[in-house]
């Protein structure tokens, strides 16, 4: 008689006794698959949204200040940096003080700053859908500054002052009219507190006036306060950073400030591995316990089988096959439970604002190959856990097995 067929009949007859093992392995497998699926989904989203984000592909080059061994961040410097291999773009920043005279709460000192696409401020209000790049004479203010709400200035044309250099120790003020076309969240302080974003031409004009130069002369000699070098891939950032620093420019990257991120991603992977280990231990322990108990309870059955000519190897194979079939059932039930658990967990996580962007899939399960491997591993571990108890039961002599008949 076919051993697998006998094992299947026995599993059906013993389904009540095997229910505990199947339930335990199925639940553990469902939790494991769900956790790995959600972790993989989150890790993939994190890699694409953070790892390959423009900010994480950026090298920030600061002005060398008074260092005699490095040139200023002029237009010529921009062109030199743009020629470095794997550089996608070079975006400049210039900042100059800009007192605002028309604030109903009183004059406020803001700092007019050029806009950089790599570090775009989070706009909360604007006069049009696509606000940037700004047009000549347009500015974007913080929604509040120094505790003063600036929302009333939205859409207004206001007067701003700029310092103009005349000669050493002597200067005067020049005024300009600008239109407030947007407000951004003031918690965004990548360009410093009290920053107002303005069009490039206006900022360069005000900075040149403060230095007593023409705009063309200013860009050739003084240049920008900071340059942002955007790299084509996060993996090329270290090489570009080294090339920039070899030119004697002080440069840092956001990657250096996010050194904990790889550790977090590694922790996610480690959690999945731990869950796999827990599943294996539970499945193995359960198989050993159940097979041993069934072997003792079915001593007479084993004795009869051996008395009618079944070899120890055949009896052992039948007992192990029973556990393997139980493992197949547990893996199948676990997969069904994992689909439901993953869907419910993803729905719950998408209600958490900070987590929602990293959970895209409706049912975030691992890939098909991973699911197949997990299912096979479940069956193998359950069957392996049955080997020793099954071998012990199969080696019993017919006389010992049937002595309590």
8-state DSSP, 144: E
At residue 112, the pLDDT reads 94
Straight-line distance from the first to the last Cα atom of the chain, in angstroms, rounded to the nearest whole number:
25
8-state DSSP, 119: G
Spatial neighbors of 352 by CB under 8 A, at least 6 apart, are none
Q: Is the pLDDT of residue 119 over 50?
A: yes
Domain boundaries, the chain: 3-51+261-402, 55-257
> Which among 8-22, 125-139, 329-343 has the top mean pLDDT?
125-139
State how far the Cα of 39 lies from the Cα of 57, in Å rounded to an integer.
Answer: 24
CB 360 within 8 Å of CB 342: no
- The helix (H) or strand (E) run that includes residue 90 is strand 87-93
364 band by pLDDT with thresholds 50, 70 and 90: low
At residue 405, the pLDDT reads 45
State how far the Cα of 287 lies from the Cα of 323, in Å rounded to an integer.
Answer: 7
Percent of the chain residues topping a pLDDT of 70: 74
Spatial neighbors of 246 by CB under 8 A, at least 6 apart, are none
Q: Give the E-state strand segments of 208-311 in sequence order.
A: 226-231, 251-253
State how far the Cα of 264 lies from the Cα of 253, in Å rounded to an integer.
Answer: 19
At residue 101, the pLDDT reads 80
Q: Is the pLDDT of residue 358 over 70?
A: no
H helices, E strands: number in the chain: 12, 13
Q: Is the pLDDT of residue 92 over 80?
A: yes
Q: Is the pLDDT of residue 233 over 90?
A: no
393 band by pLDDT with thresholds 50, 70 and 90: confident
Which is nearest to 58 in space by CA: 232, 243, 179? 232
Spatial neighbors of 35 by CB under 8 A, at least 6 apart, are 271, 272, 275
Q: Give the E-state strand segments of 150-250 in sequence order.
A: 157-167, 170-184, 195-198, 226-231
402 band by pLDDT with thresholds 50, 70 and 90: low
Q: What is the pTM of this model?
A: 0.56
Angle between helices 312-349 and 260-297 (to 10 degrees): 140
Which residue intervals of 308-358 are DSSP H helices?
Answer: 312-349
357 band by pLDDT with thresholds 50, 70 and 90: low
At residue 183, the pLDDT reads 95
Distance set, CA 383 to CA 302, 316, 377 (Å): 19, 11, 10
Peptide bond into 368 cis (omega under 30): no
At residue 184, the pLDDT reads 94
At residue 163, the pLDDT reads 87
287 band by pLDDT with thresholds 50, 70 and 90: low
What is the per-residue pLDDT across 25-71, written as a single tens digit (0 to 9) for each? 788 777 777 777 766 666 555 555 555 567 778 899 988 765 656 67
């Amino acid at each position: 008689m076919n051993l697998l067929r006998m094992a299947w009949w026995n599993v059906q007859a013993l389904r009540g006794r095997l229910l505990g093992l199947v339930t335990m392995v199925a639940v553990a497998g469902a939790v494991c698959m769900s956790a790995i699926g959600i972790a993989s989904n989150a890790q993939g989203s994190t890699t694409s949204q953070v790892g390959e984000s423009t900010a994480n592909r950026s090298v920030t080059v600061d002005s060398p200040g008074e260092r005699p061994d490095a040139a200023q961040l002029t237009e010529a410097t921009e062109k030199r940096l743009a020629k470095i291999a794997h550089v996608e773009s070079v975006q400049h920043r210039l900042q100059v003080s800009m007192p605002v005279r028309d604030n109903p709460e009183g004059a406020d000192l803001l700092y007019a700053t050029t806009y950089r696409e790599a570090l775009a401020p989070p706009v909360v209000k604007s006069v049009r859908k696509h606000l940037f790049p700004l047009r000549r004479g347009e500015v974007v203010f913080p929604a509040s500054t120094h505790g003063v709400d600036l929302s009333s200035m939205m859409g207004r044309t206001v007067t701003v002052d700029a310092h103009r250099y005349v000669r050493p120790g002597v200067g005067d003020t020049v005024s300009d009219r600008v239109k407030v076309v947007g407000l951004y969240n003031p918690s965004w302080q990548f360009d410093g507190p009290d920053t107002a974003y303005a069009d490039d031409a206006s900022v360069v004009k005000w900075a040149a006036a403060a230095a007593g130069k023409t705009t063309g002369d200013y860009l050739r000699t003084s240049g920008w306060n900071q340059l942002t070098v955007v790299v084509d891939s996060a993996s090329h950032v270290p090489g570009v950073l080294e090339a920039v620093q070899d030119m004697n420019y002080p440069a840092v990257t956001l990657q250096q400030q996010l050194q904990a991120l790889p550790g977090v991603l590694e922790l996610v992977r480690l959690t999945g591995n731990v869950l796999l280990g827990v599943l294996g231990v539970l499945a193995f322990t359960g198989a050993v316990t159940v097979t041993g108990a069934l072997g003792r309870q079915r001593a007479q059955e084993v004795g009869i089988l051996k008395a009618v000519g079944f070899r120890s190897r055949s009896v052992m194979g039948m007992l192990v096959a029973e556990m393997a079939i139980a493992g197949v059932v547990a893996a199948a039930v676990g997969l069904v439970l994992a689909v439901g658990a993953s869907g419910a967990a993803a729905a719950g996580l998408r209600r958490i604002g900070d987590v929602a962007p990293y959970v895209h899939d409706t049912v975030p399960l691992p890939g098909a190959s991973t699911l197949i491997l997990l299912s096979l591993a479940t069956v193998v571990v359950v069957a392996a856990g049955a080997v020793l108890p099954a071998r012990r039961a199969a080696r019993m002599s017919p006389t010992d097995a049937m002595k309590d008949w």
